[in-house]
Amino acid sequence: MRLSVFAVRWLLLCCMTMLALASSPARATGIETVLMPGEVIRAHAKFESNCSACHRSFDKKAQSGLCLACHKDVAADLRAGKGFHGRSSAKNCRDCHTDHKGRNADIVGLSRTRFKHDLTDYPLVGAHRTAACNGCHVGSVKFRDAPSACASCHRKDDAHKGMLGQDCARCHRIDDWKKGSFDHASTDFALRGKHALARCEACHGRPLAEVRLAKQCVDCHRKDDAHKGAMGTSCGNCHTENAWKETKFDHDKTRFPLSGRHASTACGGCHRVPNVFRGAPTDCLSCHKQDDAHAGTLGSDCKACHQPRGWKPAQGFDHSRTQFPLIGRHRESACLGCHKGPKNFRGVASTCADCHKKDDPHKGRNGNQCRSCHNAASWKQISFDHDKLTRFPLTGGHKPLACAACHKNDAHRDKLETACISCHAAKDPHKSKLGNECSRCHVADSWNKVVVDHNRTAFPLIGQHRLAECKACHTDRLFQGAPKACYGCHVKDDTHEGRMGRSCETCHNSRDWALWEFDHENETRFPLSGAHEKIKCEACHKVSRQGRLALPLVCGSCHSGDDIHNGAFGNRCERCHSSQSFKDVLPVTR
């Protein structure tokens, strides 16, 4: 089909107009303005009439460079490879930020719940991971300019009032502010021994200040210095860091090495003058004169008979060369126990009764042959075989008893009753109300030890009940008719004052009364989920001991104070908010 002359002229005019506009930059800008897809955001409004400020004709790759020419802080992050933009994988600005969506459009698209803080210069670790955004990002400060120094947020938690500077991480841990991790070994005073267990406040006063403390022992231990400064300030020469009273002075390097009992004797036992440790006497009588039973008649060479292991007995003398070799307890007896005078070491009688007449409970009625029952190991140790020679073998607690405990008035040959009650009637707490068969519960090992298997009763003992004393439940000691229901014993522990009924085991258990296991999901119409799982009961059950009273289930009953809408959207907060956090807003679905 042929074009009319008018159409041909119209096409020529359009082509000439396009060529003219293309040859002039101002004309090109006018065309782009006409073709603009929509208004730019409010912050870019001043550039709306100048497209070349953000766009270069027929060159999309140049757009990011034009963006960075204005946003110099972002450009610096990209060059340094730091900050969110420096670590982001986006290649072009328009991948995340698009304009021409209207004056009030949000082209940042920041999501507080999905934002990856690990891409910033301050990854969130420890307790920071659960902190709210507005805890650090406050006011109109840009997110990128939020302070990273600990003291910026924790100034009110600083017990040192700024005296230790702002590098809190040197001592405090990021997972728990109150847990310290300061390495004292990096200072001039490494903590060893008891110092490692001491609290910081013991040396550093409150509030803990960075004060360079003196390192001399006496600066802290002046009140512990028994020498009152007479020995100088180098306490470490004798005392150790493990314990102030533990000394490390090597006495073996003196003229009197410590051996035997001397090694455990206190310094003041020989060094009688306070703080004077030189010139102490080294002969035995200087210290042991009052222990000399011979009143000096045997001279001063005490070590001829006595030894440092123990002043008594005089083990240096060989008594086995006499007519009475020392065996058993005789070897431990003091010499004057048999030798009545300091010079009486010969002609001493050797029969048992000569020395043990006052120890004879039989008053001589069993004769002088004491060794027929007694032996030298111990006067009170009887060698009489009660198990084989009587009808009552001695077992358990009966075995160490003295004979007179059962055989009154030296009646060893009289026939005694063998029933428990014949001896233990006075100790029977049941006052014979449980009969005379004491052996049903008590054992011979100890009267207070019982062998009742409570698991065979109607109330097996589990948890804390296994540790309870019998009298805690059996108050009348009759051990019969004790209550089996929890309420029978724990009525005073019932903080609900009976409002929850008497089936305490529904929530409480025998491991610990304070431990309860109430199943809120199955026992109520309000399953706990999200942040509700971690809150305490009192957070919702405000009235103390209100028992089984039903609480309203709508969010607004507890969160009315958190409702920034002032009730304008009703009480069904769950339509927008989640149970994880009241401040989290659910995404809008269309």
Is residue 8 scored above 60 in pLDDT? no
DSSP 309: T
Domain boundaries, the chain: 313-358+368-380, 384-451, 552-590
Give whichever of 77-86, 246-255, 368-377, 397-406 has the largest mean pLDDT: 77-86
The predicted structure's pLDDT at residue 423: 85
Question: Helix, strand, coil shares of the chain as percentages rounded to 5?
Answer: 40, 5, 55
Q: Which pLDDT band holds residue 23 (cuts at 50, 70, 90)? A: very low
The predicted structure's pLDDT at residue 455: 84
The interaxial angle of helices 72-80 and 63-70, nearest 10 deg, is 110
Average pLDDT score over residue span 35-46: 86
Triad 519, 521, 524: Cα angle to 5°: 90
Q: For 374, phi and psi rounded to 5 degrees?
A: -90, 160
Q: State what percent of residues in the chain have pLDDT above 70.
A: 87
Which neighbouring-strand residues pair with 410? none
How far is the C-alpha of 40 from the C-alpha of 114, rounded, in Å?
26
Burial of 421 (0-12, 13-18, 19+ CB in 10 A): middle
Position 31, amino acid: I
Quick check: 10 and 68 in contact, CB under 8 A?
no
The predicted structure's pLDDT at residue 313: 65
Position 415, amino acid: K
Is residue 178 scored above 70 in pLDDT? yes
**Which residue, 349, 319, 323, is CA-closest to 334?**
319
The predicted structure's pLDDT at residue 207: 59
Burial of 353 (0-12, 13-18, 19+ CB in 10 A): middle
Look at 52-56, 308-312, 572-576 and tell me which has the smallest mean pLDDT: 308-312
Average pLDDT score over residue span 231-260: 82
How far is the C-alpha of 373 from the C-alpha of 362, rounded, in Å?
12
Q: Which pLDDT band holds residue 342 (cuts at 50, 70, 90)? A: low
Give whichever of 117-131, 193-207, 343-357, 491-505 has the largest mean pLDDT: 117-131
Look at 385-394, 470-479, 542-551 and tell me which has the smallest mean pLDDT: 542-551
Look at 41-50, 209-218, 425-434, 579-588 and tell me which has the smallest mean pLDDT: 209-218
Average pLDDT score over residue span 7-23: 54
Query: To the nearest whole number, what is the mean pLDDT of the chain?
Result: 80
Q: Which 3 state secondary structure label does DSSP give 81?
A: coil
DSSP codes, 552-580 = P-STHHHHGGG-TTTTTT-S-GGGTB-SS
Position 207, amino acid: P
The predicted structure's pLDDT at residue 25: 44
The predicted structure's pLDDT at residue 176: 82
The predicted structure's pLDDT at residue 31: 56
The predicted structure's pLDDT at residue 16: 54
How far is the C-alpha of 561 from the C-alpha of 370, rounded, in Å?
93
